[in-house]
Amino acid sequence: MDKDLEQQLRQAIDRSRQWASDGWPVTFGDRGVVVSSLSQAQNLPVSAVYRLVAVGYWRNVDQIGHEAAAWGEKALRHLADNNLRAVEAAVYYACYLERPLARYAATWQPLSSLLQRTLDFPAAPDE
């Protein structure tokens, strides 16, 4: 499972980093202009009223994607240390970051669900 999990983590990290460049359809402005990526937003005419909003949205997506990828990198390090509880926690944080974009991104939630089903951790003991 470790090799499969490592591969899935690496794929999720790569996908997260590409959210803003691969994108998805988002409409902006009164006319509902579709802007599907950060590069499309940056290439809008400076005179476009919605350009600033579109660029801001896609920069936010880019930042969230890179933050989620950083949590994925932490999960990889924990996997190398065979600390599966920490792997699950790191993936949970990546999933939490993804939540506002989950309708389009759907990168970390499936992996989090898989970990919860596969690892099936018992509740932490009371201290």
pLDDT value of position 1: 57
- What does the pLDDT average to over 35-53? 95
- The structure's pTM equals 0.87
Q: Assess whether pLDDT exceeds 70 at residue 63.
A: yes
Q: Terminus-to-terminus CA distance in the chain, angstroms? A: 31
Note the pLDDT tens digit of each residue in 95-127.
Answer: 999 999 989 999 999 999 888 887 765 443 443
For helices 51-80 and 2-17, give the axis angle rounded to 10 degrees: 160
Q: Assess whether pLDDT exceeds 60 at residue 56.
A: yes
Residue 103 CA to residue 126 CA, distance in Å, equals 37
Q: What are the residue ranges spanned by the domains of the chain?
A: 2-118
Q: Count the helices and strands in the chain (H runs, E runs).
A: 6, 2
pLDDT value of position 113: 87
pLDDT value of position 121: 53
